[in-house]
Amino acid sequence: MGVDQQKSEDIKRILTNKGFAQFGDALLNFAYSLALTETTGKPKGARVPDKALAEAAVKAGLRKHLPRRVGRGDIANCLEALLGYSWLQKNLTIDEIVALLKSEALTPADNFARLAELALSRLEK
């Protein structure tokens, strides 16, 4: 197996890991709540909608690392897994995540896509 193929297998294993996705879900809801709180100046808590995550995962090109037949939930999970893994590996800090989520120029899905691209670029190094 070539180096590139090995790397692609590793990424696929991370993106489809259920534990990383569950951890990433908790991480993202916290970072998203913090971004909302800092943006509005009022304490807020909210779950990130699966729809925005799935859209972001597609925009960031994560789809090609997944099996052919997957539903929207699985696509959203793969973005959560990528970010959960990256945070646990110290490839990404909460401050970086919050700063990117606070960009008002873009939609939430665009912000999450940029976050995924950043995480992926550090993973591919």
Give me the residues that bind its own copies (CB under 8 A), please: 17, 19-27, 29-30, 32-34, 37, 42-46, 84-85, 88
- Residues 6 or more apart whose CB falls under 8 angstroms from that of 113 comprise 55, 56, 57, 59, 60
User: Closest CB to its own copies among 26 and 106?
Assistant: 26
State the nearest-atom distance from the C-beta of 28 to its own copies, in Å.
Answer: 9
In contact, 50 and 104? CB cutoff 8 Å = no
Q: In the 8-state DSSP scheme, what is residue 47?
A: P
Supply the minimum distance, in Å, between the C-beta of residue 5 and its own copies. Answer: 25
Amino acid letter for position 65: H
Q: Name the residue nearer to its own copies (CB basis): 34 or 53.
A: 34
Q: Nearest distance from residue 107's CB to its own copies, in Å? A: 21
Distance CA 46, CA 12 (A): 29
Q: In the complex, what is the shortest distance from the CB of residue 99 to its own copies, in angstroms, rounded to a whole number? A: 17
CA R_g for the chain: 14
